[in-house]
Amino acid sequence: MNDMVRKLTIMDAFQPFLSRPYEKLHLSEISREINAPHPTARQWLNFFENKGVLRKEHKGRLTLFSLNLQNPSIVDYLVIAEKRKLIGKCEEHPMLAELVSYIHKNSNENVMVLIFGSATDSFNSANDIDALIVGKQETNELNNFSKRINKRLHIIQASRLSNITKTLKAEIISKHLLIKGSEDLIRWMVWQQ
């Protein structure tokens, strides 16, 4: 495996933390979620612990890992992991890839966009697509585009992230795909209460 592919692949170790940034996760849970054997998952997690991006703690025979939110590079690692997740989902679901491409090409410069809810798990079987748009963005064209991919778009618009309710924020954190404005969205999800 070439070095770049290996480095991107080990970013999969972050996937379980993207929806639970404050939790301590057990090695077997992480291994199951990223679909990697325990020795492989352990190797990847230890790599990131040595970099200071993850923390490891032992509780009896359990080995627990958590994000080191004080690491100055943690936002960058999380952005890469989020982008890897988005690319993977787009490769699985071509209609999602079309929507993401459309959003990238047609949204205003300072707008943040994410998809959340059931469409993040299984785009094809979701009844609709829940999207959050933060900033000024006309949505008529986006709604028209959603008809082309045969999915109803449920858009929530907010002028600022601070306007999002705690309940909606918790739902977004648990199931999301960041499309535009990843760094700001990660800071909001992880640090801004």
CATH of 3-67, one of 1.10.10.10, 3.40.1190.10, 1.10.3720.10, 3.50.50.60: 1.10.10.10
Please, are residues 167 and 154 in contact by the beta-carbon 8 Å criterion?
no
Q: For 14-69, what is each residue's pLDDT tens digit? A: 999 999 999 999 999 999 999 999 899 999 999 999 999 999 999 998 899 999 99
What is the CATH code for 93-190? Answer: 3.30.460
Q: Residue 119's closest CA among 148, 86, 145, 143?
A: 86
Classify the C-alpha dihedral 139-93-91-11 as positive or negative. positive
d(CA 159, CA 161): 7
Question: In this predicted model, what pLDDT tens digit does every residue of 121-141 receive, in sequence order?
Answer: 888 889 899 999 999 999 888
Domain residue spans of the chain: 3-67, 93-190
Q: Buried b vs exposed e over 112-139: b needs ≥16 C-beta within 10 Å?
A: bbbbbbebbeebeebeebbbbbbbebee
Which pTM does this prediction carry?
0.90
Q: How far is CA 17 from the centre of its chain?
A: 9
Per-residue tokens: 38: 């325990």
In angstroms, the CA 153 to CA 137 distance is 15
CA 24 to chain centre: 18
